[in-house]
Structure 1
Amino acid sequence: MDVQAVGSALIRSGQILLDRSAVSAVSRWTQAIAEADGVCVVRLSPGVDPCELTQELRDQGYRASPNHVLTGQPLFFGGPASRPFPTGEIRASLGRERSGVRVALLDTGVAAHPWWAKSRWYGSLGEAAADAVEGEQAGHGTFIAGLLLRRAPEAGLQVIRVLDGDGSGDEARLLRALHRLRGERAPQVVNLSLGGHTFDDQPSPLLADAVGALPDTVVVACAGNTASDRPFWPAALPGVIGVGALDAAEQRRAAFSGHGPWVDAWARGEWLASSFLSTGDFSGYATWSGTSFAAALVSGAIAAGAADAPVREAAAAVLGDRQIPDLGALVTARL
């Protein structure tokens, strides 16, 4: 699928996202339209600029967005966040979902692993939720699953694959996944270790609506490995807990981490060890760095607290525990 760069944001070429109320307003520019899970993806006629049309529709009061590309945040120019490294076996004692807390993990999927081989949540996963086995970020979701469960060992996971093996996805796929989480069985916590910039540095109204439609769920997202204070979405959305990465000593901001007043919490993001794929030099375990994994630690801490309190109270307690000068709330790893 073609990708177009708009500034330092990436969008799907010739696509725009709408809610149903705006479909008739774009009929003269529409080549094809697909609707699923509350999202309309419009393929535009050749020559129509998705960003210009989005702005025109917003000026008319419609909810619209280009189909922004989202990634699982590798650090392509090198450094500890660029790739995982093999490590030896890590022993972990995980529970059997006794807390009743569920964490939705929207990522590359989750692979088979000894840590959760007997869990109910993994036994219920279908092939569509399996982690990718090839690509620069294959194993990303499996790594995050281990961090979540080591922090909240009695929680269960709800896994939806929204990224491919290279860690690439888009806003349409994320919106559809969030839509499927609504209802009486909505998870207590959603972990989004992914994101990107928008064409105008403003929040996507459709993504804001999707988060707002989960009123009893705490959404946690990574601040991005951008080393920048430019807003990174969905972490910068109001109502989302944006998480930046600290160094291994949990003392300073990791050099690669996104930062700014829109970041709500900080956790270790350097040289974390967790579950991984069994492939090549890896025997099921790895060390990796990035804001993706800092976000997982915060999600896990909130899920652990939600076993004994309403999830929003648990989140407030986690964020109010300790503060780092000039940064904000510190969430310790405790692995």
Structure 2
Amino acid sequence: MEIESVGAAYIRPGQVLTDRSALSVASRWTQAVSEADGVCVLHLSPGADPCEVARELREQGHRASPNHVFLGQPLFFGGPASRPFPVPPVSHKPGRSRSGVVVGLLDTGVAEHPWWSGGDWYDRIAPEDADAAEGAQAGHGTFIAGLLARRAPGAALRVHRVLDGDGVGDEATVVRALHRLREHPPHVLNLSFGGHTFDDRPPPLLSDAIAELAGPPVDTPTGRAAGTVTVACAGNTASDRPFWPAALPSVVGVGAVDASGERRAPYSGHGDWVDACAPGDWLTSSFLDGSVHGGDFAGYAAWSGTSFATALVAGAVADAARTEPAREVVRRMLDGHGARQIRDLGVLVPASL
């Protein structure tokens, strides 16, 4: 699909997201409407500006935004390893016991790998994940899945593909996937992608969907409070410009520190909207098997970026959630008591791989 740059943000040309309440108001700009999973995408008539239409709908009290494009990190914005590099096999022995904690992973999909071949630790790959090994950034989800498996042994993984093999997705696809998670919400949700908005304001439908997943505390059969903790990357923009969804107040935004663990990684997004950080340089994990990205990979790679620091933080929350609600884990993690703080990156979370 086409991508257009507006105000240093990327959008789908001629598309606006809203809900059904705005359809009659927006009819004068609308050529067609596609609706699925509670999200309406207005396909605008030629000449209609998605940003102006979204502004006018908001002024009338409707939830609306251009269909922003989101990019998986770090391939598009660089970093010390803006592409993955092959490494020898990385040792990991999957645990046999299950913790009862579920981690949701919205990304490029997860390819088959020896670490989980024949196991049941993650929901089977859906039909749309069949090409999870095809594309310039196809191994992104597989790499993150391995970090989660090592950081939170015993947790189950629920995979939904929202980015294509080049690491490109959009707000409509993400919001629809979030709505599909409502029936069986995960304890922790890993979002290692994002982008800027045309007006630097939070995208309302995305914000609503994440807040709804968090929900109020509810008694569960296990006695734990329900409510999804969402963890998202601060982006490899080397900027303090808000990066969404990480900058949402209901999300744990994660930046990256360099190999020293003392300083912000040069590529990491930063600012008062970043809540936590973890090592992001030259991490090793599961990857695709075969010749991709111009190098020979045998199922393992080294890669750098805030995407992977995010997986370490999400995994740390999921691991601790074995014994207490994930919300309580995050509250304790971010309160700063006894924890190291990195300027403009928040609380430092150790890798512990």
The bucket for the TM-score relative to the shorter chain is over 0.9
Contact 1:83 1:136 in 2 (8 A): no
Find the counterpart in structure 2 of residue 155 from structure 1.
Answer: 155
CA RMSD of aligned residues (A): 1.4
Supply the distance in 1 between the matched residues of 2:76 and 2:191 (Cα, whole angstroms): 20
Contact 1:109 1:142 in 2 (8 A): yes
Supply the distance in 2 between the matched residues of 1:77 and 1:231 (Cα, whole angstroms): 15
Find the counterpart in structure 2 of residue 111 from structure 1.
Answer: 111
Tell me the secondary structure at the aligned position of residue 237 of structure 1. Answer: coil
Tell me the secondary structure at the aligned position of residue 261 of structure 1. Answer: coil
Tell me the secondary structure at the aligned position of residue 57 of structure 2. Answer: helix
Match status 1:254 vs 2:254: no
Find the counterpart in structure 1 of residue 92 from structure 2.
Answer: 92
**Of 262, 284, 308, which aligns to 1:293?**
308
Q: What amino acid sits opposite 2:300 in the alignment?
A: Y
Q: For residue 132 of structure 1, report the CA deviation from its aligned partner.
A: 2.5
Supply the distance in 2 between the matched residues of 1:260 and 1:12 (Cα, whole angstroms): 27
> Percent identity between the aligned chains?
66
Q: For residue 121 of structure 1, report the CA deviation from its aligned partner.
A: 4.0
Find the counterpart in structure 2 of residue 323 from structure 1.
Answer: 340
> Equivalences for 1:213-224 in 2 at 5 Å?
213-214=212-213, 215=215, 216-224=227-235
TM-score for the superposition, normalised by structure 1: 0.96
Change in CA separation of 1:93 and 1:246 when aligned onto 2, cut-off 3 Å: same
Contact 1:74 1:137 in 2 (8 A): no
Find the counterpart in structure 2 of residue 198 from structure 1.
Answer: 197
Supply the distance in 2 between the matched residues of 1:126 and 1:21 (Cα, whole angstroms): 32
Q: Deviations over 1:62-99 (max 9, x none)?
A: 00010000000234465424100000011112224611
Contact 1:211 1:219 in 2 (8 A): yes
Deviates most, 81-90 or 71-80: 71-80
Q: For residue 135 of structure 1, report the CA deviation from its aligned partner.
A: 2.2
Contact 1:64 1:206 in 2 (8 A): yes
Supply the distance in 1 between the matched residues of 2:267 and 2:119 (Cα, whole angstroms): 35
Q: How many residues align?
A: 334
Q: What amino acid sits opposite 1:238 in the alignment?
A: P
Contact 1:72 1:193 in 2 (8 A): yes
Q: For residue 127 of structure 1, report the CA deviation from its aligned partner.
A: 3.2
Find the counterpart in structure 1 of residue 274 from structure 2.
Answer: 263
Change in CA separation of 1:176 and 1:123 when aligned onto 2, cut-off 3 Å: closer
Find the counterpart in structure 1 of residue 210 from structure 2.
Answer: 211
> Equivalences for 1:124-143 in 2 at 5 Å?
124-130=124-130, 132-143=132-143
Q: For residue 29 of structure 1, report the CA deviation from its aligned partner.
A: 1.1
> Equivalences for 1:1-335 in 2 at 5 Å?
1-76=1-76, 78-96=78-96, 98-122=98-122, 124-130=124-130, 132-183=132-183, 185-214=184-213, 215=215, 216-280=227-291, 281-319=296-334, 320=336, 322-326=339-343, 327-335=345-353
Find the counterpart in structure 1 of residue 222 from structure 2.
Answer: none
Deviates most, 243-252 or 258-267: 243-252
Q: What amino acid sits opposite 1:316 in the alignment?
A: R
Tell me the secondary structure at the aligned position of residue 181 of structure 1. Answer: helix
Contact 2:286 2:301 in 1 (8 A): yes
Contact 1:97 1:156 in 2 (8 A): no
Q: What amino acid sits opposite 1:48 in the alignment?
A: A
Supply the distance in 2 between the matched residues of 1:285 and 1:131 (Cα, whole angstroms): 18
Q: Deviations over 1:135-181 (max 9, x none)?
A: 22110000000001100010010000000111000000000000001
Tell me the secondary structure at the aligned position of residue 116 of structure 1. Answer: coil
Q: What amino acid sits opposite 1:195 in the alignment?
A: G
Supply the distance in 2 between the matched residues of 1:220 and 1:81 (Cα, whole angstroms): 22
Tell me the secondary structure at the aligned position of residue 12 of structure 2. Answer: strand
Supply the distance in 1 between the matched residues of 2:304 and 2:315 (Cα, whole angstroms): 17
Tell me the secondary structure at the aligned position of residue 322 of structure 1. Answer: coil
Supply the distance in 2 between the matched residues of 1:228 and 1:169 (Cα, whole angstroms): 21
Q: For residue 28 of structure 1, report the CA deviation from its aligned partner.
A: 1.3
Supply the distance in 1 between the matched residues of 2:38 and 2:109 (Cα, whole angstroms): 22
Tell me the secondary structure at the aligned position of residue 275 of structure 1. Answer: strand
